[in-house]
Amino acid sequence: MTATLNVLTAGYVGPRTASTVTLLRDGDTLVVVDPGMVADRKLILGPVAEAGVSPEQVTDVVFSHHHPDHTLNAALFPAARYHDHWAIYEDDLWTTRAADGFEISPSIRLMATPGHTPEDISTLVDTEEGLVVLTHLWWSADGPVEDPYATDPEALHTSRAAVLALSPALVVPGHGAAFAPTEHTPR
C-alpha cells in the first residue's frame, strides 16, 4: 500500500511568510501537514476541495513544530487528530507518545528530526515514486545551509544526514517547493 501526496501550497520566507501545506491520502486516512500561515485560507481549502476532500474528512493533522507559521490554520480541520513531537490531541483527549517511529497509517509515519527546534518532527510517506519526506530541516532546496533560527545547528545537520540516508525521492521543505535531493543538497 502506498500513499498519495498533494502539495496544497508551497511556502516562502521573506517580508511575508507562509508554510508549505500538504495533503496526504493513504486509504481512509487523510492527513494535512503544517496548516500554518498562508496569504488566504482559500489557498488551503481550495486545493483540499479540488482533491475531493471536505475539511471534516481530514483524519489527522501533523505539526512539524509549534511555530505559528506551521500551525495557525489547524482549526480548519475540526474532526482531526493532531500530532506533534510528544502527543496526539483529539477533542479533550491528550495521549502522550513519542513521535519517532509513530505510524499514522501503513504508509505514513513520523520521525524525530530536531535542529530547527528541539521538538521538530518529519513526516515520512511511502509513495509509488518512493519515499517522500515532509520536513523543516530545509526551508527550500537551497537550505539555507545554516538555519538562522536553529536552536541546535549540530542537531539540524545530524537530522539532515539521517533523512538523506533514507534516500528520499523527494523532500517537501517547510517554506518552498518540493525538490529531489542531490549531492548539492545542504547537509
Q: Are 2 and 107 contacting, i.e. CB atoms less than 8 angstroms apart?
A: yes
Identify the domain containing residue 9 by its residue range. Answer: 4-173
9-19 pLDDT, tens per residue? 999 999 999 99
6 pLDDT band (50/70/90 cuts)?
Answer: very high
Task: Return the number of other C-beta atoms located less than 10 Å from residue 38's C-beta.
Answer: 23
Residue 62: pLDDT above 90?
yes
Bin 101: left if φ > 0, else alpha if -120 < ψ < 50, else beta. Answer: left
The number of distinct structural domains making up the chain is 1
Nearest to 83 by CA among 103, 55, 67: 103
Q: Are 167 and 132 contacting, i.e. CB atoms less than 8 angstroms apart?
A: no
Instruction: Tell me if 21 is assigned to some domain.
Output: yes
Q: What is the CATH number of the domain that holds 156?
A: 3.60.15.10
Task: Return the number of other C-beta atoms located less than 10 Å from residue 103's C-beta.
Answer: 10
28-43 pLDDT, tens per residue? 999 999 999 999 999 9
Q: Are 106 and 2 contacting, i.e. CB atoms less than 8 angstroms apart?
A: no
